[in-house]
Structure 1
Amino acid sequence: MISIHPLYDLPEIAAGDDLAALLRTSLSSAGLLPLQTGDVLVVTQKILSKMEGRMVDLATVVPSPGAIELAEQTRKDPRLIELVLQESTAIVRAVPNILITRHRLGHVMANSGIDRSNIGPGATERALLLPIDPDRSARQLLEAMSSNSDSRMAVVISDSFGRPWRHGVVGVAIGAAGLPALVDRRGDQDRDGRRLEVTQIALADQIATAAALVTGEGAESVPAALIRGLNLPEGENCAGAIVRPMDEDLFQ
């Protein structure tokens, strides 16, 4: 049986904290140690970004002329827009109150994933950027968490994205290690014996969304969760495998 366990008692994370040690303490308090084969530790992007020092004081940001122009168009803080431009490779859509970009990691998302909510007390003039390399961070965290265990576990770094043509956000994986983030079922047969032609399963995204049921989006203060009881498929690829290449962009 699959179960989802929120980790409630993590402290406010600061740059340079030993996140693996703090997570291990929280898991111990929740009675979830030792870790088991099939466990997936889901860590929200915010605490990883905080630990990696990705907080920016907006007072230090000098908007470029392009940022000022785009800020007028979108009715947003020009300092925030400057950070968005630094983190993105393309502007997908810019209208009043909406700015959709292609992030340097390939994600198409609002404001290059830059966040100003739930980033800590006294943070009204600060902004939090995505990690530099979430897949690498997931790998490092996995190695730290599983260093004294023979169990096969995995780590997923989660964020929340909106989706074209649908209201609301869902959890997605921006980093993953220890599991196949994308499971390719092409060539398999369905129950009627028909060959699957296009089926690929974004397993890491499914796991991130499942964890979001307990981590939440508001004041829940649950920055991580353990999913237990999964039968993880063999193989491994990172969350970057889920990002559709530019030459397969269906909306251009």
Structure 2
Amino acid sequence: MSLSVTLTAVPGVPDIQNGDDLAAVLGDCLEQAGLGLQDGDILCIAQKVFSKAEDCIIPLASVTPSAEAIKYGEELNKDPRKVEIVLRESTRVVRAFRRPDQNTGTMICEHRLGFISANAAVDESNFGEEDAAMVLPRDPDASCERLRAALAARFGAQIGVVMTDTFGRPWRLGQINVAIGLSKVPATIQEQGNLDAWGRPLQVTEPALADEISAASGLVVRKNGKTPAVLLRGLDWQPADSRGADILRKKQEDMFR
């Protein structure tokens, strides 16, 4: 059992450009900081650097909004071109609303990857381009696996990688980092059947390990600090063939649909 862990924001990460080799860039930064990688280390990497490296940025000038996007744009006071990107990234709009005190409204969507989030995780901030929108990588798990395999080979260490993004949560204020892509890191830890401290069997306990790690990484990251990579060291965990989707609740268990 881990009694302590360390979280270190990897310093010196440059602005990532389309086509950059993330493993080479981050590996160099780790070495220059004297960190390296050890067995059991987990790297939490912000989604934006993957999206930038994989050319997931869409110029708004290239987008022709559909009639549906124009309708939502008028109702929510949103750029219909951005709405069109949101719709393309979504399998459904869960709810769209604009409160009287809001300049622009919000679209709560089910992303093509299954996540429920505002605006299908389409973003316009913190990636250095004007009149453009950023979308999630096509396959976050595959992106994590490529990065993990390359860094594991470079440093000769068994590691895990988590891709994080910032989501709000129902009925709670603020945002936290959550896991949207995984390589070797368990999505959850199934404690059902184990005993608690008083010897009673656990019935439903299933810690969301990947989300706990992601949220913890946010403690050492600043939105304006250009620290998209966090090294977590000291955690006791076992590698698993998990996917980001493994943390999603099954639709038949959704009591709010």
TM-score by length of 1: 0.95
Judge conservation of contact 1:181–1:236 (CA < 8 Å) in 2: no
Shift of 1:236: 3.5
Judge conservation of contact 2:160–2:239 (CA < 8 Å) in 1: no
Judge conservation of contact 2:184–2:239 (CA < 8 Å) in 1: no
**Total equivalences in the alignment:** 248
Indicate yes or no: 2:112 matched with 1:104. Answer: yes
Indicate yes or no: 2:103 matched with 1:113. Answer: no
Shift of 1:176: 0.8
Which has the higher mean CA deviation after the structures are superposed, 206-215 or 155-164?
206-215
The partner residue of 1:54 within 53, 56, 61 is: 56
Cα distance in 2 for partners of 1:150, 1:28 equals 13
Against the structure 1 CA distance between its residues 22 and 163, is the aligned structure 2 distance closer, same or farther, given a 3 Å change threshold?
A: same
In structure 2, the residue matched to 1:203 is 209
In structure 2, the residue matched to 1:65 is 67
In structure 1, the residue matched to 2:12 is 9
Q: In structure 2, give the amino acid aligned to 1:111.
A: N
Cα distance in 2 for partners of 1:244, 1:140 equals 26
Judge conservation of contact 1:176–1:238 (CA < 8 Å) in 2: yes
Identity %: 43
In structure 1, the residue matched to 2:196 is 190
Q: Mind listing any 5+ residue stretches in structure 2 that lack a counterpart?
A: 99-104
State the secondary structure of the residue aligned to 1:188: coil
In structure 2, the residue matched to 1:87 is 89
The partner residue of 2:46 within 44, 47, 50 is: 44
Shift of 1:27: 0.5
Q: In structure 1, give the amino acid aligned to 2:247.
A: I
Against the structure 1 CA distance between its residues 9 and 234, is the aligned structure 2 distance closer, same or farther, given a 3 Å change threshold?
A: closer
State the secondary structure of the residue aligned to 1:14: coil
Consecutive aligned runs of 4 or more in structure 1 exceeding 6 Å deviation:
none
State the secondary structure of the residue aligned to 2:49: helix
State the secondary structure of the residue aligned to 2:27: helix
Q: Mind listing any 5+ residue stretches in structure 1 that lack a counterpart?
A: none
TM-score by length of 2: 0.93
